[in-house]
Structure 1
């Protein structure tokens, strides 16, 4: 998403070339493949851990740090190594995002019209806010020291990085589309029209 913003603002004349259907397919395939391999490694290693502290988790899904608390084997060091690799990958993505947005903000600040700057900022800031929320809460949830751990804090952090960003994305990006706004407005109008018509018919029938 940040690359799309970078190309559309910094290199608008090359947008069709740099972000064609083939480039989008390649980026989507790379993201899905890397996420699948990362999840596969963590899942395979987690299932190999012997659990000796029960099998109850204080979470609504099988989060890796919570599963490691139930393990009594030194093989959890392998999982910590995998977490370190995942942290490096996430850090690389974060550096790429920061670099892209630095270039974007430099280009936006050179826009002469205030309306153009406002439109560019309103397009980029929601995405940056969601990414920052996801990365900061996930990093704190996985890397926080053990003495800061508590069931309520762990649950709140997991909700913040696993539920809130996916829920905000459709709201942020879809409602910026003018056609979707018009369709939503018509749908709401039809709902209220049907609702008031039903009330009017019921009152007329009673009379």
Structure 2
């Protein structure tokens, strides 16, 4: 792959809020790509702390019902309709959701094994999580799918763990609803490069 192709692939990754279910790929095809991408994502000391749950159909809808049920008592009734419309129209409207977790048991084990860096492993874990999320997001874009990255954690953590009987050591880090692109993202703007980059030598 050329650098140009790599950059083109990255540029296709955008926040798509108008998702649909018009997807011709099978669930297995999508899951296989996600598994391959996460497996190839680098992690500190090859700890491989990322964990992923992929939801389709009723299970996908269940997640977004959990989000709404969790938020309902926290938001004034006159404002909740807007929140519900966003959840239903932007996230639940997709064909599936990827849930990203970090396994705290792995992090604890690394802290014990590499005591010199013990205080750094939570930070390393967040870096690994971010890379996995970015890589999956970019791969979905290459499949022609739209996605966004959401963070309703930690509000929904306990309900999600209970709903899918997940290990208590898995900490939810992000939710990525995905589906067909029903409306493309607006043009992206960038700040001046001189404000972001410095080169010496």
- Normalised TM-score (structure 1): 0.25
More helix by share: 1
- Normalised TM-score (structure 2): 0.26
Larger Rg: 1
More strand by share: 2
